[in-house]
Structure 1
Amino acid sequence: MRHFLTLRDYTKEEILSIIDLGLQIKSECKRREHKPYLDKQTLAMIFEKSSTRTRVSFETGIYQLGGQGLFLSNRDIHLGRGEPVKDTARVISSMCDMVMIRTFEQSMLEEFASFSKVPVINGLTDSYHPVQLLADYMTMIEHGQAENPVVAYVGDGNNMTHSWLMLAAKLGFELRVATPKGYEVDAAILADALEMAKRSGAVIKVGNDPKEAIAGATVVTTDTWASMGQEDEKEQRVRDFAGYIVDEAKMALAAEDAIFLHCLPAYRGQEVSEGVLEGPQSVIFDEAENRLHAQKGLMVWLDRAR
């Protein structure tokens, strides 16, 4: 049995096989062929952090695969009211076939998985957002930017940045990260990615100059400056991130056929301009839809790996 907690746990071949399976199921879906790959299976969806795309994509995805999703917030289960994580894990995994968790601490997710009898999927933690990267790379494939890509990430050194580091280190492409001073990526995660990059041939560059990162890039991506749980820091972050907006002038530095990605929700006029978000290089809504299809591929892959 396999869990999906971080891309670090997966080989290049496994990551690509999950995405290929997602693309296959997407093609079937577009032909209105909803095959019951997970017939009568139940996905428990635990949300300590709310989300539009994560809930809709997982709940729709398990339904299209022939199963059913159970939405469980802190108000619905005892996990948010003092029950030990290990107890909740053993109970829920004895009744459901798979569990998706969207939470704050990576350690909570890992503890839950260690006591679970069924596969556990990371729907987002403060450290990683691996399902989003499956959708992002699927989108890169569909738009012809998966062959020797140069990816520029501009913004906060957060869970999205960490997941890009893992994907680049595993698949062996060039990643350039530009963050404001004081908002760099986690040093231990960076060191881990750099060590893996020695084996895959990945080129990973981190710095503080967004223009330098974007120059010649084939994929430009960013994220919100203040994530959930950082609302009190928002005004300070807006000041600290001045100059890090991905606008038309910065996108003009990228390759002519470059695409723009954003995991959403996006705050127009902060991390990205309206012109870039709605412009011809933006593929953010293809990317958002691919959360559905990439996660269907992941769930079927995990079921087959038991």
Structure 2
Amino acid sequence: MATRHFLTLLDLSQDELHYLIQRAITIKNELKAQGPRYTPLPNRTMAMIFEKSSTRTRVSFETAMAHFGGHALFLSPRDTQLGRGEPIGDTARVLSEMVDIVMIRTFSHQGLEAYAAASSVPVINALTDDYHPCQLLADVMTWTELRGSVKGKTAVWIGDGNNMCHSWINAARQFDFQLRICCPAGYEPRQDILEAAGDRVTILRDPNDAVVDADLVTTDVWASMGQEEEQAKREADFAGFQVTEALLDRARADALFLHCLPAHRGEEISETLLDDPRAVVWQEAGNRLHAQKALIEFLLLGRVDG
């Protein structure tokens, strides 16, 4: 099989993405029933390059490789020549000679694309400043587990037009649902990403209007990594955009709430929202493991029956 990369949700077809969601659910159910007995990747190695810190990303990928019988190498900027100025392409070619797959969590999406262009092994985007596609696999998996097919349903993104928002836009395209983006003026997602989604995505300004009859509501912190100096301004600009239990009451009775975590209680969400039964963020976080297992398996082995 030719080398495939997963840099955005658009790198896989709609059919392949639907397969991944169902495969992830199967892998999860089998793990719960039998324990980690399925080991399709003995002696395979994943290099995990982290230029941005993470809890969920590192634990989920490292555990996935351990369950699969393989091994994961954690590489911080201090551990690689990338931190000392080695060209991205050179590092990619070297690691391609030694490992089977690479996961990168970094700042520049263009840098990630340059790495993938030089890599002869699959490369997974574990977050860039522009996209976070692995999180969306877990999010759509959670939504599907709890509510069935997401086709034709309505999700609402409340907050900054950031990398998570960009991946939600791509998800609306690939999984065929409607997305309402509710953000203050000046915090819209990138125009080219928005335009490519056509009529699947709409921009609104009032959260109370945006959530009416929605099937799912989601948000993220107002200031992402690298934007800490903007915290005070963003708090002022996003006043009125906090997701609360009362706001969720305006959505459908069976609506779900997602958050990629970590959450800032009292800022983008109310202090108690994560305790509400409509908030399924712990299941969502746990599904990072299973969705990424399905992704790793697909990139290295192709489709698997069962």
The bucket for the TM-score relative to the shorter chain is over 0.9
Shift of 1:47: 0.3
2:96 matched to 1:93?
yes
Find 1:218's aligned residue among 215, 223, 245.
Answer: 215
Structure-2 residue corresponding to 1:243: 240
Structure 2 counterpart of 1:171, one-letter code: F
Structure 1 counterpart of 2:18, one-letter code: L
Structure 1 counterpart of 2:127, one-letter code: L
Secondary structure of the structure 1 residue equivalent to 2:48: strand
2:181 matched to 1:184?
no
Structure-1 residue corresponding to 2:63: 60
Shift of 1:124: 0.2
2:15 matched to 1:18?
no
Partner Cα distance (1:252, 1:239) in 2: 25
Structure 2 counterpart of 1:8, one-letter code: L
Shift of 1:149: 2.0
Structure-2 residue corresponding to 1:113: 116
Structure 1 counterpart of 2:168, one-letter code: W
Partner Cα distance (1:156, 1:134) in 2: 20
Partner Cα distance (1:261, 1:149) in 2: 15
Structure 2 counterpart of 1:16, one-letter code: H
Shift of 1:204: 1.5
Shift of 1:206: 1.2
After TM superposition, the structure 1 stretch with the greater mean CA deviation from structure 2, 109-118 or 30-39, is 30-39
Structure-2 residue corresponding to 1:200: none
Partner Cα distance (1:267, 1:193) in 2: 30
Q: Deviations over 1:117-145 (max 9, x none)?
A: 10000000010000000000100011115
- The normalised TM-score by structure 1 is 0.95
Structure-1 residue corresponding to 2:75: 72
Secondary structure of the structure 2 residue equivalent to 1:265: coil
Secondary structure of the structure 1 residue equivalent to 2:157: strand
Structure-2 residue corresponding to 1:158: 162
Mapped contact 1:155–1:179 kept (Cα < 8 A) = yes
Structure-2 residue corresponding to 1:84: 87
Shift of 1:150: 0.9
Shift of 1:92: 1.0
Secondary structure of the structure 1 residue equivalent to 2:102: strand
Q: Deviations over 1:12-37 (max 9, x none)?
A: 11111111111111111112142111
Structure-2 residue corresponding to 1:35: 38
Shift of 1:275: 2.3
Find 1:263's aligned residue among 248, 251, 260.
Answer: 260
Mapped contact 1:223–1:263 kept (Cα < 8 A) = yes
Q: Give me the identity figure in percent.
A: 53
Shift of 1:191: 1.1
Structure 2 counterpart of 1:18, one-letter code: L
Q: Which consecutive segments of 4 or more residues in structure 1 shift more than 4 A?
A: none
Mapped contact 1:177–1:205 kept (Cα < 8 A) = yes
Partner Cα distance (1:277, 1:146) in 2: 24
Mapped contact 1:145–1:218 kept (Cα < 8 A) = no
Partner Cα distance (1:226, 1:236) in 2: 10
Q: Deviations over 1:204-247 (max 9, x none)?
A: 21122212211110100000101101011111111111000001
Structure 1 counterpart of 2:22, one-letter code: D
Secondary structure of the structure 1 residue equivalent to 2:17: helix
Shift of 1:56: 0.3
Structure-1 residue corresponding to 2:5: 3
Find 2:204's aligned residue among 189, 202, 207.
Answer: 207
Mapped contact 1:2–1:305 kept (Cα < 8 A) = no
Trace 1:163-174 onto structure 2 (pairs within 5 A): 163-174=167-178
